[in-house]
Structure 1
Amino acid sequence: MKLSRYEQETIVNYNAGEQTATVYTRDKTVMRKLDTLVADFPDTYKLTGQDEISKTYSFPKSYVSYRKPRAVSIEQKERARQMMIAKNKTKGD
């Protein structure tokens, strides 16, 4: 079943009274990332449910993080751009 971009939702749910977060997703990219974590860390990440279009996972809520935006200077952007140009040139050779 093909879902629209809008329908490919991900919902993270947790509360102050429990130590576990639950993630419900219909986004294939998020599923692949969480499936890898389930395979690599089965004691921490669990697949708790699935159907044809969605999966539900659980893991410690302390693994949910909020980060401030990364500040990148113009010099850093230019350095990264030059590195990518050089890397792409070596790929073509």
Structure 2
Amino acid sequence: MKLSRYEQESILNYNAGEQTATLYTRDKAVMRKLDTLVADFPDTYKLTGQDEVSKTYSFPKSYVSYRKPRAVSTEQRERARQMMIAKNRAKEV
């Protein structure tokens, strides 16, 4: 079944009284990432339910993180760009 971009939602749910978080998703990219984590770390990440368009996972809520936006200066961006140009040229040789 093909879902619109709007319908490809992910819902993260946890509360202060429990140690686990639950993630419901209809986004294929999120499913692929979490399926890999379930396969690699079965004691930590668990697939708890699925149907034809969605999957539900559980994992420790301590694994949920919030980050501040990365601030990259113009000089850092230019340096990274030049490094990638050099790497790509080295691959061509």
* Bucket of the pairwise TM-score, normalised by the shorter protein: over 0.9
Partner residue in 2 for 1:10: 10
- Identity in percent: 88
Q: Equivalents in 2 of 1:54, 1:76: separation in Å?
A: 40
Unaligned runs of 5+ in 2: none
Partner residue in 2 for 1:62: 62
Partner residue in 1 for 2:44: 44
TM-score by length of 2: 0.93
Q: Aligned-residue CA RMSD in angstroms?
A: 1.1
Deviations 1:4-31, CA, capped at 9 Å, x for gaps: 1111100000001100000000001000
- Match for 1:40: what amino acid? D
What is the deviation of 1:92? 4.2
Give the length in aligned residue pairs.
Answer: 93
Unaligned runs of 5+ in 1: none
Q: Please give the secondary structure, in 1, of the residue aligned with 2:75.
A: helix
TM-score by length of 1: 0.93
